A and B are shown apart, each in its own frame.
Chain A
């Protein structure tokens, strides 16, 4: 049975429960066997500025949004103003009856840019400046407007609960809109109840209040808007175990699987959620029994301390990581080079956001690929991984420690805001194939006679000894050093030592299977190939499926190991390609440039975006299609987003 896809958006002031609403809505859909992908958008603000959650409900697993909104659940007038043009022509808008006369140009939290744009729009269309004017206009093109008296409903709820102060229930506007939404969509009400019970598990009183609110709203929708809305949502039976998880959580789980035992961080968006989640779960359940696993999460005084503390822990023998975003990584750079020079297996999870400087602290971007590749003075070996979706976040986070220890070098794991802060349902992660590989480590029984931490070997990898091991005393230094780890400025030693470190990259090229370094989608012999990395994957894969169905010949290489770049594979795959289309979320087409640098193959077409909002399936599909139709300029810039 085909499941209708629904794109639901809830929005309101920050702090009014937008996340909670999305979580409950998403869970309710998930319990009904549906796949959910949810993107969270918020300002760098604690309370008051607009935030929203865009949920896509589907019968198939998806990890991108489309441009459409089928049902907009607005907590306030601003949400309507900001998103009304995203609502599809037979879609719906749930709005507070008491706010429809709001003068939209007077909404205080509208920015200068948006206000000017809105004024022009109203003038152009000859509309008045009330929200009702905008709604009436949308209504003309078929959009259903569901005016709901939020305060009356809250009053009914407060009366039933014998609560005198209305302010004690106004927080529940969010669940009211959920109740209305599911009433309109004719969805199984009991699943919403289940979602609320799980979400507020430890607060029974809150559970009761919220369930009453949902029921009241659900019934209101049924009574007042019966059959007014064409979109319906039906649960389906599935026999698969699924989870609803964010990218931040997936990375944390991957770290636990990978044996991470020390995580350091300094608070920064959008990375901090991962560390807090780990700290909340610091005592780990292991197959070895009780009291055998724990992760120490250290909140440090800055990111400089974070990276260096993690390196210290790694030298002592713990698998150690830190998590940050661009500004924090900037501070880590000196420590990164130390780790490179001293061959420290430290993992840095790098959540990109709009940059440079503070940039767009809560918005998406892929601006930092070249920074991750080149950060640090001097030449040293590192691995840079880039996950493409939440599931990959999990597996890559675990694998990062294997790479770090086997090859004795820092590993930078690139995530981005679109992945980190999005949530989706997916089949339970299967970790049965994952093995921990710690590389060449000597314990005291293997240490006889002189030990050289940086012994010259053919592969460049020297057997490693943890600090504290008997008979293994050795030294580390940020200076150039000899095999013992003592300072050396001798030219012959320098020549060999730099080469020792750098040639480990050749070993990676030789040893790491290509399946771990790239993903390929579509036709292996395609004339047209998309190259990309990171979170555009979800939108590209869907666009590719659609275009393939339409008869286009297309392939997609998702690069996952950004450094060392799988250049031989890329050369083979791209050298006879008619059209190479680079898709990424930055201004300069960083991956495209790197591919050209490493393979000598020029990139014909760029599809780029840097407005802080992730690429949607819709816009990638349209842009790629233009290229395939020979109608695209060499460089297309995508701009969808609100």
Chain B
């Protein structure tokens, strides 16, 4: 029986502010899971702390709502132990690029086959609107006592240099595009990163829905707002690395594209490379039966309860006779 979006809903009240971009992310994720036909028990949704930490409670799959900044370590542990699981990680920009930045970088080095979605609203919402690592230098969102004194980190560029093999950006209110990219991210073989621009209606009064839509810059001829967002696929941008020899060039173009901001903000897939071996493939080189007989699936005791471990080879190495 085909799965429906409603199969992925729980009866937990969704407690985000009215108009929050997260509603679009939640709906898109539920649609993506349904369309991919992923049975709820095969999916583990891992999140951190903040408004972005709550989705696991709203989605009827396995949910692990972890610590601030520590989503990726938990998620990688789950996936390593049972690579059959579809592990999807969600976190905020502060979670993943501030307190968890070390994990963000190092997860890229491993390229474990998971999906990481960052809810990027440039503020710390749940603690009342402090500047997050993606807020631009000099901006002063409404609850900041002073303008932001730090430069912003560039999530797309950081993901690319860290080794993520699928790097994309989407907009929370464009649910159709968002859903499609999430589906591709899930299907990607390797660590996929999706930067989701998510207006925070309560604390970010700069990067608002109207701002993204270009309500402040109407076309003088038509009188229509000129959106700041455009899609890479619509300008013929090709993110796919088809041969490792073109990898560096593709990365450099993607990093350059990632610098665009302000009046021209690209959405879509910046970089995609399935030629880099996943962590699972790397481990399988050493342990050929790793996927077939994964750590969480291994039988560790016999019917009498005795350990299946045979220590004789260890003792042979250590023996004193």
Question: Chain A residues near B44 (CB, 8 Å)?
Answer: 316, 467-468
Q: Are A256 and B311 in contact (CB under 8 A)?
A: yes
Residue of A257, A286, A306, A475 near B64 (CB, 8 A) is A475
Q: Are A292 and B293 in contact (CB under 8 A)?
A: yes
Q: Are A475 and B57 in contact (CB under 8 A)?
A: yes
Question: Chain A residues near B288 (CB, 8 Å)?
Answer: 291
Q: Are A318 and B295 in contact (CB under 8 A)?
A: yes
Question: Chain A residues near B49 (CB, 8 Å)?
Answer: 478
**Which range holds the interface residue count of chain B?**
35 or more
Q: Which of B68-76, B129-137, B163-171 contacts A (4 or more CB under 8 A)?
A: B68-76
CB within 8 Å of A: which B272-299 residues: 283, 286-290, 292-299
Question: Chain B residues near A301 (CB, 8 Å)?
Answer: 102-103, 105-106
The B contact surface, by secondary structure, is mixed
Q: Are B296 and A317 in contact (CB under 8 A)?
A: yes
Q: Are A286 and B315 in contact (CB under 8 A)?
A: no
CB within 8 Å of A: which B20-52 residues: 39-42, 44, 46, 49
Q: Are B57 and A486 in contact (CB under 8 A)?
A: yes
B12 and chain A: residue at smallest CB distance: A486
Q: Does A479 have its Cβ within 8 Å of any Cβ on chain B?
A: yes
Q: Are B70 and A30 in contact (CB under 8 A)?
A: no
Question: Chain B residues near A473 (CB, 8 Å)?
Answer: 40-41, 60-62
Q: Are A436 and B306 in contact (CB under 8 A)?
A: yes
Q: How far is the CB of A453 from chain B (nearest CB, A)?
A: 10
> In the docked arrangement, what's the CA distance between A435 and B303, Å?
10
Q: Does B1 have its Cβ within 8 Å of any Cβ on chain A?
A: no
Q: Are A243 and B315 in contact (CB under 8 A)?
A: yes
Question: Chain A residues near B295 (CB, 8 Å)?
Answer: 261-262, 294-296, 313, 316, 318, 320
> In the docked arrangement, what's the CA distance between A188 and B301, Å?
44
Q: Does A466 have its Cβ within 8 Å of any Cβ on chain B?
A: yes
Q: Are B62 and A318 in contact (CB under 8 A)?
A: no
How does the 8 Å CB contact mask read for A257-298 relative to B, with 1 for contact and 0 for none?
111011010000000000000000111111110011111101
Q: Are B313 and A468 in contact (CB under 8 A)?
A: no
How does the 8 Å CB contact mask read for A422-435 relative to B, with 1 for contact and 0 for none?
00010011011011
How does the 8 Å CB contact mask read for B45-89 relative to A, with 1 for contact and 0 for none?
010010000101100111111110010111111111110110000
Question: Chain A residues near B310 (CB, 8 Å)?
Answer: 284-287
Q: Are B74 and A431 in contact (CB under 8 A)?
A: no
Question: Chain A residues near B81 (CB, 8 Å)?
Answer: 261-262, 296, 312-314, 316-318, 320
A401 and chain B: residue at smallest CB distance: B300
Q: Does A81 have its Cβ within 8 Å of any Cβ on chain B?
A: no
From A242, A264, A286, residue with most partner B Cβ within 10 Å = A286
Q: Are A241 and B319 in contact (CB under 8 A)?
A: yes
Residue of A31, A317, A434, A485 near B320 (CB, 8 A) is A31
Q: Are B311 and A257 in contact (CB under 8 A)?
A: yes
> In the docked arrangement, what's the CA distance between A288 and B293, Å?
12
Q: Are B73 and A259 in contact (CB under 8 A)?
A: no
Q: How far is the CB of B238 from chain A (nearest CB, A)?
A: 33
How does the 8 Å CB contact mask read for A15-40 relative to B, with 1 for contact and 0 for none?
00000000000010011000000000
Q: How far is the CB of A296 from chain B (nearest CB, A)?
A: 6
Question: Chain A residues near B105 (CB, 8 Å)?
Answer: 301
Q: Does A335 have its Cβ within 8 Å of any Cβ on chain B?
A: yes
Q: Are A304 and B319 in contact (CB under 8 A)?
A: no
CB within 8 Å of B: which A300-359 residues: 300-302, 304-306, 308-320, 334-335, 338
Q: Does B223 have its Cβ within 8 Å of any Cβ on chain A?
A: no
Q: Does A590 have its Cβ within 8 Å of any Cβ on chain B?
A: no
> In the docked arrangement, what's the CA distance between A338 and B74, Å?
11
> In the docked arrangement, what's the CA distance between A227 and B320, Å?
29
Q: Are A305 and B73 in contact (CB under 8 A)?
A: yes
Q: How far is the CB of A266 from chain B (nearest CB, A)?
A: 11
> In the docked arrangement, what's the CA distance between A430 and B294, Å?
28
Question: Chain A residues near B314 (CB, 8 Å)?
Answer: 249, 253, 256, 281
> In the docked arrangement, what's the CA distance between A474 and B10, Å?
11
Q: Does B2 have its Cβ within 8 Å of any Cβ on chain A?
A: no
The verdict on A435 contacting B319 (CB below 8 Å), with A292-B299, A301-B106 known, is no
Q: How far is the CB of B16 from chain A (nearest CB, A)?
A: 14
Q: Does B307 have its Cβ within 8 Å of any Cβ on chain A?
A: yes
Q: How many residues on chain A are close to B (CB under 8 Å)?
A: 82
Q: Does B305 have its Cβ within 8 Å of any Cβ on chain A?
A: yes
Question: Chain A residues near B60 (CB, 8 Å)?
Answer: 473
Q: Does A437 have its Cβ within 8 Å of any Cβ on chain B?
A: yes
Q: Does A470 have its Cβ within 8 Å of any Cβ on chain B?
A: yes
Residue of A31, A288, A311, A428 near B77 (CB, 8 A) is A311
The verdict on A282 contacting B82 (CB below 8 Å), with A468-B42, A477-B57 known, is no
Question: Chain B residues near A311 (CB, 8 Å)?
Answer: 74, 77
Q: Does B312 have its Cβ within 8 Å of any Cβ on chain A?
A: yes
Q: Does A147 have its Cβ within 8 Å of any Cβ on chain B?
A: no
Residue of A308, A313, A429, A471 near B67 (CB, 8 A) is A308
Q: How far is the CB of A628 from chain B (nearest CB, A)?
A: 37
Q: Does A533 have its Cβ within 8 Å of any Cβ on chain B?
A: no
Q: Are B287 and A313 in contact (CB under 8 A)?
A: no
> In the docked arrangement, what's the CA distance between A262 and B73, Å?
13
Q: Does B318 have its Cβ within 8 Å of any Cβ on chain A?
A: yes
The verdict on A319 contacting B63 (CB below 8 Å), with A257-B309, A311-B77, A431-B307 known, is no
Question: Chain A residues near B102 (CB, 8 Å)?
Answer: 301-302, 305
A255 and chain B: residue at smallest CB distance: B309
Q: Are A335 and B293 in contact (CB under 8 A)?
A: no
Q: Are B287 and A294 in contact (CB under 8 A)?
A: yes
Q: Are B302 and A287 in contact (CB under 8 A)?
A: yes
Question: Chain B residues near A470 (CB, 8 Å)?
Answer: 39, 41
> In the docked arrangement, what's the CA distance between A479 and B12, Å?
15
Q: Are B41 and A472 in contact (CB under 8 A)?
A: yes
Question: Chain A residues near B40 (CB, 8 Å)?
Answer: 473
From A30, A285, A475, residue with most partner B Cβ within 10 Å = A475
> In the docked arrangement, what's the CA distance between A227 and B293, Å?
62
> In the docked arrangement, what's the CA distance between A476 and B75, Å?
13
Q: Are B64 and A242 in contact (CB under 8 A)?
A: no
The verdict on A338 contacting B66 (CB below 8 Å), with A293-B298, A466-B296 known, is yes
Q: Are A334 and B67 in contact (CB under 8 A)?
A: yes
Q: Are A294 and B289 in contact (CB under 8 A)?
A: yes
Q: Are B307 and A398 in contact (CB under 8 A)?
A: yes
From B74, B105, B309, residue with most partner A Cβ within 10 Å = B309
> In the docked arrangement, what's the CA distance between A628 and B12, Å?
67
> In the docked arrangement, what's the CA distance between A286 and B311, Å?
8
Q: Does B222 have its Cβ within 8 Å of any Cβ on chain A?
A: no
Residue of B41, B65, B300 near A319 (CB, 8 A) is B300
Instruction: Report, nearest first, the 6 A-B pairs whose CB atoms are least far apart.
Output: A312-B77, A259-B300, A261-B295, A309-B77, A436-B301, A316-B81
Given contact pairs A242-B321, A436-B307, A478-B67, enumerate 19 new A-B contacts (beta carbons under 8 Å): A257-B311, A285-B313, A291-B293, A309-B73, A309-B76, A312-B64, A312-B80, A312-B81, A313-B296, A315-B64, A316-B77, A318-B294, A431-B307, A468-B82, A468-B84, A470-B39, A475-B64, A477-B57, A478-B49
A-B contact pairs, 10 of them (CB 8 A): A262-B295, A281-B314, A312-B76, A316-B78, A317-B82, A317-B297, A318-B294, A470-B41, A479-B65, A487-B54
